[in-house]
Amino acid sequence: MTTEGRRPAPRPRVAALREPVDPARIGRRVARRRAKGMGAAAVTRALEDARFDARQDSRHEDLAADERGRAELAEWERIDQMLAAAAPGAVYDPDTDEVVRAELIAEAAADREAAVREAQRIAARADELQALRELGTLKQAEPREGDEAVRDELTRRAGLYVQADIDPWLAAPWPRTAGTTPTRQPARPPPASCRSRSSRTPRCWPRSPAWSRPPRLASWRS
């Protein structure tokens, strides 16, 4: 059962955190994915290929500072050293790599911290928008990136009911003139000198001098 004028909103979606691009981590992952199941000899050949690619990239100014390529080469060197010290016939398995495990634990902890910070940001922004709503100045606020998640938080606080004022505010074009929604000024009635007794159409245009001329003051005879 719903109250008239209010309809239940769908369960809010949790905003996905945007993972910053880390070229070095991408390079390490590429090397590990390719090295999985390789023996020492295959890893050594892959290392030589990576070194050749690094020499070729060093000749190009736009590739000389490629962080991903350097990280991938360093990872191949680490895997090659690890298999060289392992028992004969060993193959590389990232699931049993202690370095990879340590990185995954650190990344999981960082993701949890980022999720907590994002939840705090959403809650603080929701409090800010709610205060603006109570003051009647929400339309003057500029939407920010990530306010869709804040809208979902306000919806959750309202018992999953649609926030009728938030969606139009998010969809409105920005920037707005003077921070407010532009409104059309009411039409000014024509002055008496421009009015016609026989027609509703005025005898002069709004931009004409007669339209903007101030009305005459009545003169009194002494």
pLDDT of residue 219: 47
Neighbours of 150 (CB within 10 A): 24
Domain that holds residue 142: 116-178
Sole residue written with tokens 């205060």: 131
* Concatenated DSSP letters of 146-162: THHHHHHHHHHHTTSB-
Whether residues 90 and 29 share a domain: the answer is yes
Whether residues 92 and 120 share a domain: the answer is no
Whether residues 130 and 173 share a domain: the answer is yes
Considering the domain boundaries, does residue 101 fall inside one?
no
Considering the domain boundaries, does residue 29 fall inside one?
yes
Q: What is the dihedral of CA 207, 210, 212, 216, to 10 degrees?
A: -170
pLDDT of residue 182: 44
Query: Looking at 178, 199, 217, which one is the last position of a domain?
Result: 178
Number of domains in the chain: 2
From first to last of the 222 residues of the chain, give the pLDDT tens digit.
444 444 444 444 444 445 567 889 999 999 999 999 999 999 999 999 999 988 888 887 766 677 888 999 999 999 999 999 999 999 999 999 999 999 999 999 999 999 999 999 999 999 999 998 888 888 888 888 888 899 889 888 888 877 788 888 887 776 654 444 444 445 556 566 555 554 455 555 555 555 555 555 444 444
pLDDT of residue 197: 53
Whether residues 122 and 68 share a domain: the answer is no
Q: What is the residue type of 91?
A: V
> Would the pTM count as exceeding 0.75?
no
Considering the domain boundaries, does residue 222 fall inside one?
no
* Concatenated DSSP letters of 28-97: HHHHHHHHTT--HHHHHHHHHHHHHHHHHHTTSHHHHT-HHHHHHHHHHHHHHHHHHSS-TT----GGG-
What's the token pair of residue 208?
A: 């004409």
| Residues in CB range of 170: below 8 A, 6 or more apart | 143, 147, 148, 151
pLDDT of residue 178: 46
Considering the domain boundaries, does residue 6 fall inside one?
no
pLDDT of residue 80: 96
Whether 122 and 150 have beta carbons less than 8 Å apart is answered as: yes
Whether residues 138 and 89 share a domain: the answer is no
State how far the Cα of 29 lies from the Cα of 9, in Å rounded to an integer. Answer: 41
State how far the Cα of 7 lies from the Cα of 1, in Å rounded to an integer. Answer: 9
Whether residues 27 and 73 share a domain: the answer is yes
pLDDT of residue 91: 95
Considering the domain boundaries, does residue 160 fall inside one?
yes
Considering the domain boundaries, does residue 202 fall inside one?
no
Whether residues 59 and 90 share a domain: the answer is yes
Considering the domain boundaries, does residue 103 fall inside one?
no
Sole residue written with tokens 């007794």: 197
pLDDT of residue 13: 42
State how far the Cα of 37 lies from the Cα of 33, in Å rounded to an integer. Answer: 9
Query: Looking at 154, 178, 202, which one is the last position of a domain?
Result: 178
Whether residues 85 and 150 share a domain: the answer is no
Considering the domain boundaries, does residue 48 fall inside one?
yes
What's the token pair of residue 109?
A: 């902890």
